[in-house]
C-alpha cells in the first residue's frame, strides 16, 4: 500500500492560468508518465519520523478535538512495519502510554496477517505508479511546460479509483503535489478529499512529505467530520530522529 494513502487527504484544487491551455493528446503524455512512474519506483525508506495530527470538526469546520502523535517508523523485512511512539497528546493531555499500547496491539495483528480491513473499498495506489497507468486517463489542464498540471480519472472501476490533479516537474518526473477524491463516494461517506505534497530534495520513491485528508461520514442521525495531517521527516539516524521529533 502506498505510504501516503495508507492513511487516508482537503481537496485543494490546483489552478492553472486563467485560460487553461488546450488538452494535450494522451499519447503526447506517455514519456512524461513513464518518467514519473520510474521516479516513484525508488527504494523504500526504511526509517522515517512522522508527526500525525487528527482534528475533529463541527459543521462549521471549527476544531472540537485534537490528537497529535510523534513517532519513528521502521519498515521491516517481509513488508512488516514497526513504530516507536515518542509522544502522544490528546486535547492537551499526555496519552503516550495509551497510544503505545493501542498501536502495539494493532501492529501485532497486522504483522500476523490479522489486520482489520478498512471500512471502505478503495484502491490506495497512486495513479502514476507503473502498475496503475493503464487504469486511468491523463489530460494536461494547466500549469507550464516546466510544471504541467495533469488531470487523472479512471477508465473503469470508478467505484474504487480516484479523480484529481497533479503538478509535475517535467525535467525530473517528480510529483510536486497531488489532490483528489474518490470517483464515487462509498456508502455513508460525504467527503474524502486528499492532498499529497512531495519534496524534490528527497530520494525517488512513493513517500510524500505531507499528507492531508479531510473527510466526513454519516449514519442515521450520526455525523462525523475530521481532518488528518501527516508530516514525515528523513533523519540521518535514530538519534537524529528522536531529537528532531522532540523539538
The model's pLDDT over 183-234, given as tens digits with 9 standing for 90+, comes to: 988 778 888 899 999 988 888 888 899 999 998 887 777 788 899 999 999 8
- Give the span between the Cα atoms of 247 and 225, in whole angstroms: 30
Q: Are 169 and 58 in contact (CB under 8 A)?
A: no
Written as nine digits, the cell of 137 is 486517463
- Give the span between the Cα atoms of 68 and 16, in whole angstroms: 34
- Model confidence at 235, pLDDT cuts 50, 70, 90, reads low
pLDDT of residue 17: 34
Written as nine digits, the cell of 223 is 455525523
- Write the pLDDT tens digit of every residue in 15-68: 233 344 445 444 489 999 999 999 999 887 889 999 999 999 988 889 999 999
DSSP-assigned states of every residue in 80-148? -EEEEEEEEEETTEE-HHHHHHHHHHHHHHHHTT-PPPPSS----S-TTSTTTGGGEEEEEEEE-SSSE
- Model confidence at 245, pLDDT cuts 50, 70, 90, reads very low
Q: pTM (2 decimals)?
A: 0.77
Give the residues across from 116 on adjacent strands: none
Amino acid at each position: 500500500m502506498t505510504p501516503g494513502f495508507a492513511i487516508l487527504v482537503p481537496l485543494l484544487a490546483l489552478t492553472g492560468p486563467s485560460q487553461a491551455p488546450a488538452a494535450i493528446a494522451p499519447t503526447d503524455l506517455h514519456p512524461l508518465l513513464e518518467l514519473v512512474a520510474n521516479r516513484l519506483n525508488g527504494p523504500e525508506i526504511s526509517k522515517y519520523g512522522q508527526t500525525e495530527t487528527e482534528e475533529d470538526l463541527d459543521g462549521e469546520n471549527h476544531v472540537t478535538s485534537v490528537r497529535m502523535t510523534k513517532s519513528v517508523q521502521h519498515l521491516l523485512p517481509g513488508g512488516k512495519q514497526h513504530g516507536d511512539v515518542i509522544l502522544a497528546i490528546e486535547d492537551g493531555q499526555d496519552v503516550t502510554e495509551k497510544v503505545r499500547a493501542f498501536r502495539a496491539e494493532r501492529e501485532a495483528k497486522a504483522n500476523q496477517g490479522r489486520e482489520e480491513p478498512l471500512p471502505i473499498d478503495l484502491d490506495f495506489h497512486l495513479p502514476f505508479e507503473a502498475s496503475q497507468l493503464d487504469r486511468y486517463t491523463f489530460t494536461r489542464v494547466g500549469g507550464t511546460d516546466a510544471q504541467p498540471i495533469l488531470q487523472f480519472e479512471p477508465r473503469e472501476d470508478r467505484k474504487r479509483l480516484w479523480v484529481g490533479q497533479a503538478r509535475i516537474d517535467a525535467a525530473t518526473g517528480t510529483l510536486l503535489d497531488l489532490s483528489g477524491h474518490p470517483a464515487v463516494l462509498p456508502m455513508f461517506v460525504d467527503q474524502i478529499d486528499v492532498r499529497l505534497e512531495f519534496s524534490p530534495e528527497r530520494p525517488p520513491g512513493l513517500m510524500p512529505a505531507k499528507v492531508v485528508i479531510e473527510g466526513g461520514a454519516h449514519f442515521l442521525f450520526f455525523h462525523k467530520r475530521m481532518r488528518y495531517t501527516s508530516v514525515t521527516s528523513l533523519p540521518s539516524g535514530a538519534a537524529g530522529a528522536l531529537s528532531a521529533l522532540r523539538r
